[in-house]
Chain A
Amino acid sequence: MKIQRFGQLATITLAGSLALSACGSDNNTSGSGGSTGSGSATAATECAEGTLNSEGSSAQKNAIEEAIASFQEACEGATVNYNPTGSGAGIKQFLAGQVDFAGSDSALKKEEKDGKVETAEAEKYCGSPAWNLPMVTGPVAVSYNLPGVDKLVLTPDVIANIFNGKVTTWNDASIAKINSGAKLPSTPIKVFFRSDESGTTENFTKYLAAAAPSAWTAEPGKSWTGKGEGKEKSSGVAGAVQSTEGGITYAEWSYAKDNKLGIAQIDNGGGPVELTGETVGKAIATAESDGEGNDLRLKLDYATKEPGAYPINLVTYEIVCSKSKDPAKAQLTKAFLKHFSSEETQAALEEIGYAPLPDEVRTKVATAIDALS
């Protein structure tokens, strides 16, 4: 019957295609293993076996995924999982013992919040102090969409007024004053902000509160307190700016680059600073250390007037017990964190929109990792 013959033909085709797909060889690991071999020949990655689970900030998602990929390639038998559910969720899971370390946009809080002090809770859980290790610096780019305007300089006061809704068109006097020579159109400014609770919002509002305290009076926090339209996640705001002429937003550098948005140069008082890996590193290097010993919480100076330092930065920390509750995992945690903070891995992060840790901070982090047990 016709149906039977068609069925036979279909079965043969299906079986044949399945068999042919098995012909492809899985040479991927050996091929790329050769290329990283040359890079890691300078500093062999220490390896350990096992599985690590971690959770936390979505701002460092791309960075940690890159580090995990290179670590797993170098170390057979090691698996690291990272779930980017948000800093709050990451810390919660860490304190509940569900993950081995947490990634967070802000260090564990020392102040009481809703009856709990995060540092005390962590110490209780770990049986030893919990350390905040800065690992990833993600600059926040003030990104805009203005065809024809390639270079835009903004000062903290102007930024605050734009995001407050006080400055409404691009050819406003306050913007034109600091951009003499640029032809600014009369397009209305459309502000986009993060509608979900976000560490990027927190760092951006901290910058505004520190650098333009008279113009930005709202309390910094994870929820947006200015004006504009809210979109979900960095991809949402960046996409919205890309499709709206006259749009402006604050988003991680990688999103601004991917969507080909213009990135404003920030003038904190020391001249316009372009967003590059070095300028970010310079700003992080000026940060004060806010913790004791190996607890390396950084107090970023958002109002820094240092020339050539890009001020709007977000540092994500890996929060880990100084004395691990599981000695078998301790080796793997140390090995992974060491790999993550190594010079090669950090340098590789620049392509995906993060800035490498400056040397001063990196050496301190390395010392702290060595002291983990």
Chain B
Amino acid sequence: MSSITGVSVADETPSGGRAPLSGDRAGTGRLGDRLFGGAATGAGVTVIALVTLIGLFLLWQAIPALAKNEASFLTSREWVVAGDNPRFGILELLWTTVLSSVIAMAIAVPVGVCVALFITQYAPRWLSRPAANLVDLLAAVPSIIYGLWGLNTFLPVEKPLEAFIQQWLGWFPPFSSTTISGGTIFFIGIVLAIMVLPIVTALSREVFDQTPVTHKEGALALGATKWEMIRTAVLPFGRPGVISAAMLALGRALGETIAVTFIVSTLARGTDWTWSVFNGGETFASRIANNAAEFDTPQKAGAFIAAGLVLFILTFIVNAIARIVIERRKAFSE
């Protein structure tokens, strides 16, 4: 007879001094078990240690500069990092980074999910594989090419759109016009959306493919149309996966450096605050990139690393929220 786990009881029970039967040799290969377990544990520990060490390095470099800072780090808009009286704050950087990423997500997630649905549910078999490959190709394009393409080819196309929005919706503060032309947060949001689209699509595609066929067939059998079937069977099932995909994409959008540096116009010092999305600015990554060549003192480098630390923490928080959301959903969908 067999126990609940399927192992034969005869294997466990010792009988008359004989050593217990160890069962099928292939299943209890002690050396292979130990090696693989060790390697997996080692890899996991190394990665966690690496992330922790990076965080510690950022902290260690940033703290001396933060200690000397004379302005409030989180709410000041100034950025004077050299000299004896450094005053620097990340409010502008935080605003630009978050705003551009939010715009990118607002465009990329719906479009990405729709593309994934098209590839898995609507497209004929001969089209879905090439279409999937083409979308994945977007991820292979280097970031600097996106920057150049955005500046030279896409900008003239997008400028009339900006002018249109400013003209008809300019009364709404986020759409008010500014003196900046071309290199706006709105524009980089669109380009970032294109850059993160393949991530959203690829992961959503995998998840939607995993939808149990019985759920789909059940919905159709009950008289649902194709869209109703997707809405009731596919999307709820895929929600944790889509959220994961969106978080990965957000991570990429937050940290994107070269394309942002090329495209977004920097603001002159002392420019007034505006809520408009048609403003210029710098993200954490682009400010560090713009000044990286001139890190000649530890104080200066420390200030920029402090900015990088804020980005690190921001990404961490966003991922933690996503994890919480997914865990809660999982409890209900299992």
Interface residues in chain A, defined as those with a beta carbon under 8 Å from any beta carbon in chain B: 85-86, 88-89, 92, 114, 165, 190, 192-193, 195-197, 222-232, 236, 239-240, 243-244
A92 to B179, CA, bound (A): 38
- B280's closest neighbor in chain A, by CB? A229
Q: Which of A114, A197, A224, A229 meets B183, CB within 8 Å? A: A229
- Chain B residues with CB under 8 A of A192: 265
- Picked from A86, A92, A165, A229, the residue with its CB within 8 Å of the CB of B265 is A229
* Residue among B269, B271, B290, B293 with max Cβ neighbours from chain A (10 Å): B293
B268 touches A227 (CB 8 A): yes
Contact (Cβ within 8 A) A195 B269? no
Residue of B nearest to A229 (CB): B265
Nearest-neighbour CB distance to chain A for B138, whole angstroms, equals: 24
How far is it, in angstroms, between the C-alpha of A86 and the C-alpha of B289 when the chains are bound?
13
Residue B82, interface by CB 8 Å: yes
Q: Which residue of B lies closest to A227 (CB)?
A: B268
Contact indicator B266/A195 (Cβ below 8 Å): yes
B181-A226 in contact (CB<8A): no
Chain A proximity of B92: nearest CB distance (Å):
13
CA–CA, A240 and B180, complex, Å: 11
Compute how far the CA of A232 lies from the CA of B282 in the bound complex, rounded to whole angstroms: 11
A243 touches B294 (CB 8 A): no
- Verify B262–A232 contact, CB threshold 8 A: yes
Query: Are A230 and B296 in contact, with the CB atoms below 8 A?
Result: no
Query: Within 8 Å of chain A (Cβ to Cβ): is B201?
Result: no
CA distance A293 to B266 in the complex (A): 43
Contact A229 B266 (CB under 8 A): yes
A selection of 5 A-B contacts at a CB cut-off of 8 Å is: A88-B295, A197-B293, A230-B266, A231-B183, A232-B290
B280 → A minimal CB distance (Å): 6
Closest Cβ–Cβ distance, residue B296 to chain A (whole Å): 5
Chain B residue numbers with a CB within 8 Å of A231 are: 183, 265-266
Q: Are A114 and B297 in touch, CB under 8 angstroms?
A: yes
Q: Which one, A114, A196, A243, contacts B293 given CB within 8 A? A: A196
CB distance from A117 to the nearest CB of B (A): 13
* Nearest 9 pairs of A and B residues by beta carbon: A230-B266, A86-B293, A195-B266, A229-B265, A197-B294, A88-B294, A196-B290, A114-B297, A227-B268
With A190-B181, A244-B182 known as contacts, the answer to whether A230 contacts B265 (CB < 8 A) is yes
- With A114-B82, A231-B183 known as contacts, the answer to whether A197 contacts B290 (CB < 8 A) is yes
Q: Nearest A residue to B260 by beta-carbon distance? A: A232
Say whether B267 faces chain A, with CB atoms less than 8 Å apart: yes
On whether the beta carbons of A225 and B269 are closer than 8 Å, the reply is: yes
CB B282 to nearest CB in A, in angstroms, measures 8
CA distance A85 to B291 in the complex (A): 11
CB < 8 Å neighbour of A193 from B156, B261, B268, B282: B268
Given known A229-B280, A243-B155, contact A85–B293 (CB-CB < 8 A): yes
B295 proximity list for chain A (CB < 8 A):
88
Cβ-defined contact, B261 with A232, below 8 A: yes
**Structural contact, B291 and A197, CB atoms closer than 8 A:** yes
Nearest chain A CB to B54's CB is how many angstroms away? 23
Contact partner of B268 (CB less than 8 A), chosen from A222, A228, A239, A244, is A228
- Quick one: CB contact mask for B254-275 with A, threshold 8 Å, 1 for yes? 0000000110011111010000
Provide the B149-183 mask, 1 if CB < 8 A to any CB of A, else 0.
00110011000000000000000000000011111
With an 8 A cutoff between CB atoms, is B299 at the interface?
yes
Complex interface: chain A residues within 8 A of B261 (CB): 195, 232
Q: Is the CB of B156 within 8 A of A243?
A: yes
B183 touches A226 (CB 8 A): no
The answer on a CB contact under 8 Å between B299 and A236 is no
Q: How far is the CA of A239 from the CA of B268 in the complex (A)?
A: 19
Name the distance in Å between B86's Cβ and chain A's nearest Cβ.
11
Q: Which residue of A lies closest to B299 (CB)?
A: A114
Minimum Cβ distance to chain B for residue A35 (Å): 34
Q: How far is the CB of A164 from chain B (nearest CB, A)?
A: 10
| B293, A88: Cβ atoms closer than 8 Å | yes
Q: Which chain A positions have C-beta within 8 A of B265?
A: 192, 195, 229-231, 240
Contacts of A230 in B (CB 8 A): 265-268, 280
Residues of B within 8 A of A85 (CB): 293
List the A side residues contacting B297 at CB < 8 Å: 114
Within 8 A of A (CB), among B277-294: 280, 282, 290-291, 293-294
B280 — which chain A residues lie within 8 A by C-beta? Answer: 229-230
Whether A89 lies near B262 (C-beta < 8 A) is no
Chain A residue at minimal CB-CB distance from B297: A114
7 extra interface residue pairs, beta carbon distance < 8 Å, beyond A197-B290, A227-B271, A230-B280:
A86-B294, A88-B295, A222-B294, A229-B266, A229-B280, A230-B267, A240-B265
Taken together as a complex, chains A and B put the C-alpha atoms of A239 and B265 apart, in Å, by 12
- In the assembled complex, the Cα of A226 lies from the Cα of B261 at a distance in Å of 20
Smallest CB–CB gap between B40 and chain A, Å? 38
Q: Report Cα–Cα, A355/B182, bound state, in Å.
A: 33
- Minimum CB–CB distance for A362 against chain B, Å: 30
Closest residue to A226 on the B side, CB-wise? B268
Distance A234 CA – B261 CA, assembled complex (angstroms): 13
Cα separation A190 to B280 with both chains bound (whole Å): 14
> Chain B residues with Cβ under 8 A from A244's Cβ?
181-182
Q: What's the nearest-Cβ distance from chain A to residue B331, in Å?
A: 48
Give bound CA distance, A193 to B297, whole Å.
Answer: 24
Question: How far does the alpha carbon of A18 sit from the alpha carbon of B197 in the complex, in Å?
Answer: 38
Which residues of A lie under 8 Å from residue B180 when comparing CB positions?
229
CA gap between A229 and B187 in the complex, in Å: 15
Chain A proximity of B84: nearest CB distance (Å):
9
Q: How distant is the Cα of A239 from the Cα of B151 in the complex, in angstroms?
A: 9
Taken together as a complex, chains A and B put the C-alpha atoms of A230 and B280 apart, in Å, by: 9
List B contacts of A225 (CB < 8 A).
269
Q: Count chain B CB atoms within 10 A of each CB in A85, A88, A195, A225 and give the residue with the most.
A: A195
